Structure 1
């Protein structure tokens, strides 16, 4: 039986003085991530009520594909720059489709 796709909701909250810089950094992840093997969908959203809040909606073919993404060069680059731009640690949750 094939492995079901994996959905991720990841939240990143910018410091109020670094919203534009963080948006630019996060946007730079989208194309290389969408081109990764195993990426089904990868969207970046920004809250309308709180512009410091960004959400990634992700869908991956498998845990293996997600793990490869997590160790990619563009994710390593993000992790090196993120601490100076965020208000709190990023949150990521894994979901499976129920219906």
Structure 2
């Protein structure tokens, strides 16, 4: 029996002077998509030979979920103004999955388990997995009194990964009220190339449960404490 899963694959050929801007925009769209109801996955790829060519791939639980995504205001705004970014018309194909349905990635019921997912993503140096633990628009404090979000956050993580940091963190306390959770984190970091960054601390992270019942970080603050 055919399942309801829908996929979309697209090819976006950027104007050379707009390639970097379009790439950042598409990545932000994928991050937002992953937090929408029914999104199983959303990925952006850049052609290895042509840096102005971006290929995106999305998987949705049902056609209704895909249609709801395409009707989002940010998608409609992009589609209406896409000629400003594209050297040729956007090519999109909508697909229906054949064969067996792949197993879904299990989501932790306890928000404290997101701490391990965060550590695993950093250990794997997987930028998409790191950004995937955050809700759209989430804030990350990179120095006391200064938070970054969106494309600026992603860029900061990319640069940080180049230092090959080694992280460890343990949930010392957790507090849950409805769809909001606060985690007190005892952490340590080792950066062999920059000994001045090596150290320990106690941070405060805030998570919220999204419409799909998934816990995602909305604030990570390694300098915060109770």
What TM-score, normalized to structure 1?
0.89
Q: Where does the alignment leave 5 or more consecutive residues of structure 1 unmatched? A: none
For 2:79 and 2:59, locate their aligned partners in 1 and report how far apart those are by CA, in whole Å.
20
Cα deviation for residue 98 of structure 1 reads 3.2
Residues 19 and 51 in structure 1, CA contact (< 8 A), matched pair in contact too = yes
The two structures have a TM-score, normalised by structure 2, of: 0.41
Q: Output the CA distance in 2 between the equivalents of 1:98 and 1:2.
A: 7
Q: Secondary structure of 1:48's match?
A: coil
Q: 1:42 & 1:81 partners in 2: Cα distance?
A: 22
Provide the residue aligned with 1:10 in structure 2.
Answer: 10
Which of the pair is proportionally richer in strand? 2
Aligned partners of 2:19 and 2:51 also within 8 Å: yes
**1:41 aligns to what?**
41
State the structure with bigger RCO (CA 8 A, min sep 6), 1 or 2. Answer: 1
SS of residue paired to 2:22: helix
Alpha-carbon RMSD across the aligned residues, in angstroms, is: 1.7
CA contact (8 A) 1:45 1:55 kept: yes
Question: What secondary structure does 2:48 align onto?
Answer: coil
**Which has a greater percent of helix?**
1
1:25 aligned onto 2:25: yes
The aligned length equals 99
The superposition leaves residues 7-48 of structure 1 with CA deviations (integer Å, 9 ceiling, x where unpaired) of 211111101111111112112201211111011010000001
